[in-house]
């Protein structure tokens, strides 16, 4: 660090200019795709959300905040927002706690067994949401589904699963859960492996039990990982889409519709009002950013050094 | 596996739970693969009869029905489903190549060079990464359609590739790996009179190679499974990927589970094999991407 600072003033203006030019040449290809296909559509989305653009009228005219005020009177949107919040509030703690448990159960195992488990729990992610969803659709099937077979074999009444307003959202949450824990487990295994072993030994010598070792030593040192896991799980749960589109199409009676699904439904299926759907996207993006910031605050507050 | 002294009831219990969970997580895949080779009578559950956990007889009927619609590619006749598989491979390979090339160059200069505007650019990359990528689906579609890409089969495939390449995760990951390049090596190459590109290829690249591998496999799998983008962009049948093709079969013939499972197997098995082969790199990529820079 100090070395660099000393050298900085010695660099000639020509060299500095040359380095800047070379750097931008190297950055150019990445910036082209980033600005062209991430930043531009983001800006377009925000602008369109203030218009009444639609499939038949792609340009649209400026309508101010009308789309945004309409959101809060739209019963279907409010219902979808509630469903989205339920998914996030259930799945984020469940995924975090479960993957932490699996991570701590496997990280001390022999490396072969450890990578076996890591693979198994990562498999649904690799398999892809489409293949995973279609096989669950079959298992949830009222007549030929495995789940009702098991329920009947255990002496119960067949359940309606995804065709019931009460159960459908929980079916979605279950599948989402199986496709969400792979990455957190990989992260926790790595983080737990990096916990300073000497601290753990010292605590044990001092007579701490396993629970105390976990709570006082491991938990604080894996805090950054927990935070990261909570944030990515939040972002993913808010964006849960493929499962819903393939399994229930938001039904029955909007009981599994989420903001992300409704946005797609409005933009591409039903009324094709791009402006209105973009307003939903903007609200969703803001909410996700707020949630992530909040988690950052809450969890960092817990470990003030 | 377990030290003798840690053989407590708790460790035994957790070993049992883990094994049960492993079965639960492997089962859907087992059900896809076996379902794809089951006869119709094995797929239907008759009341009073045992469910067929194992196919009574292996049949390729489901695949034959899936392959019934034909198409043509480069003058070769082939089933539509194989064309879909080709499209998945094409999209993933091109996205992988472009992402690796652009990200390793950008990550390298962000880690190792000093230049005007560096903080701003890196900040933009990081901020964009925290935002949900699906909310830009609608404007992306309008953009691609005004660029004229959605009119043709190949154009619409590139409409899926470009946003994947633009996503800043790769730049972020390669910056992490590039931090490991010793500045003294770069300095030595400069004194020896090596050009910037040669320095990058001959000095920097060998050091960031593991990161390159991690990013390659990560991008390949992610673009294979990037469903929402495919759903919006790939409207023509010939342009569909295997996942999207299966999804559309599901809405056409939702009761033919045998055929759907054959498609699901076709979508899942190749990517799982790729994953298992490059698993080591993959794990590295996930962990490196999470470390805060």
Average pLDDT over residues B195-215: 84
DSSP class per residue in B34-52? HHHT--HHHHS--TTS---
- Asked if residue B217 has pLDDT above 80, the reply is yes
A35 and A161 in one domain?
no
Q: Same domain, yes or no, for A188 and A280?
A: yes
Residues A167 and A244 in one domain: yes
CA distance A118 to A115: 5
How many domains, in total, are found in chain A? 2
Q: Do residue B1 and residue A109 have CB atoms under 8 angstroms apart?
A: yes
Q: Which residues of B touch A241 (CB under 8 A)?
A: 134, 227-228
pLDDT digits (tens, 9 = 90+) for B23-56: 999 999 999 999 888 887 777 777 777 777 787 7
pLDDT at site B6: 57
Report the range out of A164-168, B91-95, B231-235, B272-276 with the highest average pLDDT.
B91-95
Arithmetic mean of pLDDT over chain B: 84
A226 within some domain: yes
- Look at B118 and A23 and tell me if their CB atoms are within 8 Å: yes
Contacts of B44 in chain A (CB under 8 A): 143-144
Share of chain A above pLDDT 70, in %: 94
Query: In this structure, are A211 and A290 located in the same domain?
Result: yes
User: Closest chain B residue to A158 measured between Cα atoms?
Assistant: B47
CATH, residue A256: 1.10.3720.10
| A234-253: pLDDT as tens digits | 888 988 888 999 888 887 88
pLDDT value for A9: 52
Query: How confident is the model at residue B290, as a pLDDT?
Result: 63
Q: How close B124 gets to chain A, by Cα (Å)?
A: 9
Contacts B20 to A, Cβ<8 Å: none
Instruction: Give the pLDDT of residue A6.
Output: 46
Contacts of residue B228 in chain A, CB cutoff 8 Å?
Answer: 241-242, 264
Residue B2 above 80 pLDDT?
A: no
- pLDDT in the model for residue B293: 32
| Chain B contact present for A89, CB below 8 A | no
Judge contact between A238 and B132, C-beta under 8 A. yes
Mark which residues 20-59 of A lie under 8 Å from B by CB: 20, 22-24, 26-27, 29-42, 44-45, 48, 58
Enumerate the β-bridge partners of residue A209: none
Residue ranges of E strands in chain A: none
Same domain, A42 and A129: no
CA distance A19 to chain B (A): 6
Asked if pLDDT for residue B101 goes beyond 90, the answer is yes
- Does the pLDDT of residue B111 top 60, yes or no? yes
pLDDT digits (tens, 9 = 90+) for A46-75: 998 998 888 888 788 888 888 899 989 999
Three-class SS of residue B267? helix
Q: Are residues A87 and A39 in the same domain?
A: no
**Which of A33, A99, A259 to mutate against chain B (most B CBs within 10 Å)?**
A33
Q: Residue A10: what pLDDT? A: 57
Nearest to A119 among B133, B134, B279 (CB): B279
pLDDT at residue number B8: 78
Residue A89: count of CB within 10 angstroms of its CB:
12
The string of pLDDT tens digits covering residues B239-261 is 899 999 998 888 877 678 888 89
Predicted confidence band of residue B69 (pLDDT cuts 50, 70, 90): confident
| CB burial readout B237-268, b (16+ within 10 A) else e | ebbbbbbbbbbebbeeeeebbbbbbbbbbbbb
In this structure, the answer to whether residues A98 and A210 fall within a common structural domain is yes
Q: How many CB pairs under 8 A join A and B?
A: 259
Res A11: pLDDT: 65
Identity of the residue in A44, A146, A292 whose CB atom sits nearest the CB atom of B142: A44
pLDDT at A3 over 70: no
Domain B91-252+272-290 superfamily per CATH:
MetI-like (1.10.3720.10)
Within this chain, do residues A143 and A251 fall inside the same structural domain, yes or no?
yes
Mean of all residue pLDDT scores within chain A: 85
Q: Report chain B residues whose CB lies below 8 A from the CB of A292.
A: 130
The C-alpha atoms of residue B239 and residue A116 are separated, in whole angstroms, by 36
Express each pLDDT in A6-46 by its tens digit.
444 556 788 888 888 888 899 999 999 999 999 999 999 89
Ordered by start, the domain boundaries in chain B are 91-252+272-290
Q: Given CB atoms, is A164 within the 8 Å cutoff of chain B? A: no
Q: Is residue A66 part of a domain?
A: no
Domain residue limits at A20: 2-48
Q: Is the ipTM of this complex over 0.95?
A: no
In terms of Cβ atoms closer than 10 Å to its own Cβ (0-12, 13-18, 19+), residue A75 is exposed
What digits encode the pLDDT tens for the residues A180-197? 998 899 889 888 888 878
B157 pLDDT tier (thresholds 50, 70, 90) = very high
């Amino acid at each position: 660090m100090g070395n660099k600072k000393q050298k900085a003033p010695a660099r000639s203006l020509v060299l500095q200019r040359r380095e800047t030019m070379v750097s931008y040449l190297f950055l150019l290809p990445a910036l082209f795709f980033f600005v062209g296909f991430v930043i531009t559509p983001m800006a377009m989305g925000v602008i369109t959300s203030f218009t009444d653009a639609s499939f038949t009228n792609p340009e649209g005219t400026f309508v101010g905040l009308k789309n945004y005020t309409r959101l809060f009177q739209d019963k279907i949107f409010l219902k979808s927002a509630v469903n989205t919040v339920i998914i996030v509030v259930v799945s984020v703690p469940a995924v975090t706690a479960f993957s932490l448990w699996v991570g701590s159960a496997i990280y001390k195992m022999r490396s072969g067994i450890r990578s076996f488990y890591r693979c198994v729990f990562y498999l649904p992610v690799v398999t892809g949401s489409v293949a995973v969803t279609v096989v669950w659709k079959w298992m949830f099937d009222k007549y030929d589904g495995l789940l009702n077979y098991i329920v009947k074999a255990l002496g119960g009444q067949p359940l309606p699963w995804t065709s019931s307003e009460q159960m459908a959202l929980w079916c979605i949450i279950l599948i989402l859960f199986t496709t969400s824990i792979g990455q957190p487990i990989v992260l926790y295994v790595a983080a737990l492996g990096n916990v300073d072993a000497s601290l753990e030994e010292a605590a044990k010598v001092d007579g701490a039990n396993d629970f105390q070792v976990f709570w006082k030593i491991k938990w604080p040192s894996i805090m950054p990982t927990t935070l990261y896991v909570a944030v990515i799980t939040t972002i993913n749960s808010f964006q849960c889409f493929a499962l819903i589109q393939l399994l229930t199409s938001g039904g029955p009676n909007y009981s599994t519709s989420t903001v992300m699904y409704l946005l797609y439904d409005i933009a591409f299926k039903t009324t094709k009002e791009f402006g209105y759907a973009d307003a939903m996207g903007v609200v969703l993006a803001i909410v996700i950013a707020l949630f992530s910031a909040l988690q950052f605050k809450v969890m960092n507050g817990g470990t003030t050094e | 596996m377990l030290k003798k002294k840690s053989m407590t009831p708790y460790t035994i219990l957790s070993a049992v739970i883990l094994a049960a969970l492993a079965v639960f997580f492997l089962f859907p895949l087992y059900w896809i693969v076996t379902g794809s080779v089951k006869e119709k009578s094995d797929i239907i559950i008759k009341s009073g009869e045992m469910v067929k956990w194992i196919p009574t007889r292996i049949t390729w009927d489901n695949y034959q029905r899936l392959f019934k619609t034909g198409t043509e590619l480069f003058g070769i006749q082939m089933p539509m489903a194989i064309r879909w598989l080709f499209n998945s491979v094409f999209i993933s390979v091109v996205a992988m190549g472009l992402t690796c090339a652009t990200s390793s160059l950008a990550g390298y200069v962000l880690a190792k060079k000093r230049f005007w505007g560096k903080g701003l650019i890196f900040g933009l990359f990081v901020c964009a990464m925290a935002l949900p990528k699906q909310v830009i689906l609608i404007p992306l579609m309008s953009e691609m359609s005004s660029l004229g890409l959605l009119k043709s089969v190949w154009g619409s495939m590139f409409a899926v590739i470009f946003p994947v390449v633009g996503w800043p995760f790769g730049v972020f990951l390669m910056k992490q790996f590039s931090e490991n390049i010793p500045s003294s090596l770069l300095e030595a190459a400069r004194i020896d009179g090596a050009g910037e590109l040669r320095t990058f290829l001959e000095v920097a690249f060998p050091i960031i190679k593991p990161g390159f591998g991690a990013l390659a496999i990560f991008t390949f799998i992610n673009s294979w499974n990037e469903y929402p983008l495919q759903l919006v962009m790939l409207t023509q049948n010939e342009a569909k990927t295997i996942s999207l093709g299966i999804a559309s079969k599901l809405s056409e013939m939702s009761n033919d589970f045998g055929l759907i499972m054959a498609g699901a197997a076709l979508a899942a098995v190749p990517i799982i094999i790729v994953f298992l082969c490059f698993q080591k790199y993959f794990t590295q990529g996930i962990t490196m991407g999470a470390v805060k820079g």
